[in-house]
Structure 1
Amino acid sequence: MTATRIRAPRPQDAEALAELHLETWAETYCGVFPDSAWGQEARRGRIRMWSSICSAPRPGDCFAVAERDGRLIGLAGAGASQDSPAPREKQLFFIYVLASEHGTGAGQELADAVLSQGPASLWVLGTSSRAMAFYSRNGFVPDGTRRPCAYEGAGDEIRMVR
């Protein structure tokens, strides 16, 4: 297997990153989120989001992509906490890796690239045992805070901190 390359996203990556984001969401949340979560309206929103991230990220935000053999396989982002009050200054916004790349270390490399080892918080779907185990291995523990997922019927999100 070729080594994973971690790098910053580039403006020309925006559409491919939007597609990757939707593909990883569909792999991760199929049967949990409605199909509209990766439908055409969601696609347009992700293209706008990634165009902005790739061309003019907010100060203090850090985004990284994982690439293997010239193909984007994962993405991650972190920055200032979006919670009020913030349990930690830094928050992991997301890490998504293609299911075919699970277990290759790409997710860990992405986490290391956007978070380092310092204090941080994140939100994870409470039914996502694989993600919760990954975050636990990275020193995160639930802090007892829950909120409903934006998609009705998908369960609660759990905040984890380290």
Structure 2
Amino acid sequence: MQPPEIRPVTADEAVAAAWCHLLCWREAYAGLVPDDLLLERTSDIDRRISRWTTPLGPGRQRWIALNPDPDAPVQDRVAGFIGVGPGRDEDAPVPFELEAIYTRRAFWQTGLGSRLLDVAVGKQPAFLWVFEANERALAFYRRHGFEPDGTGKHDPYFDLWEIRLVRG
């Protein structure tokens, strides 16, 4: 099967991208977030579609990776996504932020995450926030040169602690 095509998201793909977003959270955060909270936070597809159809701020961009299976249902049409833009932290260590990157479990360890990162960030300095207990994600970011900068915060949405990683 051919690899997923990566390209900027269009308004027509908001529903599929929203499904990918929610399902990626379910897959990535299983075992990190209590099951009942995870289900509650990933069940409002209309809210997530609204987030995907709201115009992005200046300098912010999103790319999606399209599932190469032409018969995939809408929930599986998008295999992953990445969002980037100007740093939102007042004390941003570098100007560019990796706001989100996810791939569906079926595409884990296929190189899709690295491809998304290459397309949207390249080798430029960037920072991101990651749940401190998310070992799989931490290993991915370490492989791409990101290191903790000693800054942390509590994420109230999933009730987990995050750490900031930076690549200079």
TM-score relative to the length of structure 2 = 0.87
Q: Give the match for residue 64 of structure 1.
A: 63
Long gaps (5+) in structure 1: none
The CA RMSD over aligned residues, in Å, is 1.4
1:21 aligns with 2:27: no
Which amino acid is the alignment partner of residue 85 of structure 2? G
| Matches of 1:153 and 1:7, distance apart in 2 | 32
Which amino acid is the alignment partner of residue 166 of structure 2? V
Q: Give the match for residue 162 of structure 2.
A: 157
Q: Percent identity?
A: 36
Moved over 4 A (4+): none
- Is this contact kept in 1: 2:8–2:63, CA < 8 A? yes
State the 1:31 CA deviation. Answer: 4.0
State the 1:8 CA deviation. Answer: 0.6
User: Which of residues 37, 41, 50 is equivalent to 1:37?
Assistant: 41
| Matches of 1:153 and 1:5, distance apart in 2 | 34
State the 1:59 CA deviation. Answer: 2.1
State the 1:72 CA deviation. Answer: 1.3
**1:42-100 alpha-carbon deviations (Å, 9 max, x no partner):** x2221111012xxx332211211111324310011000111112111000010010001
1:113 aligns with 2:113: no
Long gaps (5+) in structure 2: 71-76
| Matches of 2:145 and 2:61, distance apart in 1 | 20
Q: Give the match for residue 91 of structure 1.
A: 97
- Is this contact kept in 2: 1:82–1:91, CA < 8 A? yes
Q: Give the match for residue 3 of structure 1.
A: 3
| Matches of 1:150 and 1:78, distance apart in 2 | 22
**1:107-147 alpha-carbon deviations (Å, 9 max, x no partner):** 11111111111111000000111101111111100000011
- Is this contact kept in 2: 1:90–1:120, CA < 8 A? yes
State the 1:152 CA deviation. Answer: 5.9
Q: How many residues align?
A: 156
TM-score relative to the length of structure 1 = 0.90
